[in-house]
Amino acid sequence: MWIMFFIVFVPIIIGLIHFCFSEKNNTKDYVLNSQNKRSQEINKKISDYEQKKIEYKIPTTAKSVFMPSINGSYFIHKQNNFLILFGDSCVFYNKQKNSMQSIYVIPIDFILYYKTQGEVRYEMQISGGGGGGSSIKGAVVGGFIAGSAGAIIGSRNKINEIKSETVKKDERIVELVYITNKNNENSLSLFFDYNSLSVFSELIPEKSYESYKKNKQQIIEINPTNKDIFLQIEKLAELKNKNILTEEEFLEKKTKLLSQI
């Protein structure tokens, strides 16, 4: 009987042991392969990202600006006649998920201005107070120590001290406004945190909103007594090329000037 037991069950037990060890090894191999694959994917993303930075010639000293709407930062760099905004690694890896643009290449001539919006507000926050009312626990203790009078006094809750605190809320942001074509038909805006103002002031100081307003004020008013019509048209064309005048404004003033010839 024992011989039959060994003949029948021992191979089964050995097979089960072998199967368990085999499955354990397979699971271990699967985990290792998954980790290696994940590591390779990360390394490839890093390599692709660094290659893109080289392609767009982003220097290691490039400053960064933060865009609150996507909770991401961009390296900002002025190259020739372009302003390049190059997203950091988080922006690159999440661009499809968040439908964000990872790289902006904006011609300097297409930038109308940058300016600040919002304000710094101060709010008074008050805490404490409350309390009062009755406390059963206090009444029991007070009554035990000093009778009914102690119960009345002990039942009163302690009133918390009222405290006030002034909280600063900085809601300022920086808006960068630019056009998409020379006809000045459409303008787009990008919004950055207030700390970005110093970066824009350093890279493109000529595009401040103050400069933009000043140039607008310098638009030539047509003088009917001025005989040099073509000179005025040339100056108007210069203002149009600088995106200070729209195509429609330029044509309107040009037509008015030519009608005087």
Per the CB < 8 A criterion, the answer to whether 137 and 107 are in contact is no
What are the mean pLDDT values of the chain's consecutive 10-residue runs (261 residues total)? 57 64 60 77 86 91 92 93 92 66 93 94 78 49 46 53 85 94 82 96 95 76 61 84 83 82 65
Q: What per-residue confidence (pLDDT) applies to 118?
A: 93
pTM over 0.85, yes/no: no
Q: What per-residue confidence (pLDDT) applies to 149?
A: 47
Which structure tokens are listed for 89? 């690694």
Q: What per-residue confidence (pLDDT) applies to 63?
A: 94
- Hey, what amino acid is at 76? I
Q: What per-residue confidence (pLDDT) applies to 87?
A: 92
Fold adopted by 57-119+171-205: PH-domain like (2.30.29)
**Domain ranges within the chain, ordered by starting residue:** 20-55, 57-119+171-205, 129-169, 218-261
Distance CA 93, CA 45 (A): 8
